Each structure stands twice: as structure tokens, then as C-alpha cells.
Amino acid sequence: MEGHIPYTTRSYRMSQFILLLLTFAAVTIMVNFSPGLSRILFGLPIVLSGILGIVGTWYIIKGHHEPLTEKKVVAITVNLAMVILIMAILVSNTLYRL
């Protein structure tokens, strides 16, 4: 199939973008313009990373038949870590509000 991008490659690209977003969030906190602006500039990349982590994990699951490569290992690690992080944030915020 022409133009077909393997699921592992898609997931790997998402994991690269997640790492870029997390780097941006870390730099935002280090610079700390103002509390309100920093909260938005930190929270938005984290939420986007969580969404990308879920989609990237879905692509890894769909590409389970593809061979195990370094790209696949990195993609699995980063995407699943983001899913776990977002789940932990949601659970902790839910319990904290109770």
C-alpha cells in the first residue's frame, strides 16, 4: 500500500511530540512568567500529551503484529507512561476534591 504509515512509526512520532511538549512544560515552569500564565502554559502541554499518549497507545495496540524495534519500545514506554500519568492526575484530583 502506498502512503501507508506503519502503526509503530505513528506511535513513535507521537511519543517524540509528547517529549517535546513535556520539555516545553518544564521550561515554562523554570522561567515562571506569572503564576496564571505559567499554569496555562504548563497544563495545556500536559493535557495534550495525555491525549497523544492515549492515541499512541491505541496505535501500538493496533500494530502489535509489527516487529519489535527500538522505535516500538520507545513508543510503548513514552505513550504508556503518559497514560499512567494522566490517569494518576485524574484520580488524585478526583480524590482531592472529595
80 half-sphere exposure, CB direction, 13 A CA radius: 8
Q: pTM of the prediction? A: 0.84
Phi and psi of 19, rounded to 5°?
Answer: -65, -35
30 pLDDT tier (thresholds 50, 70, 90): confident
Q: What is the pLDDT of residue 7?
A: 93
pLDDT above 90 (res 32):
no
38 pLDDT tier (thresholds 50, 70, 90): confident
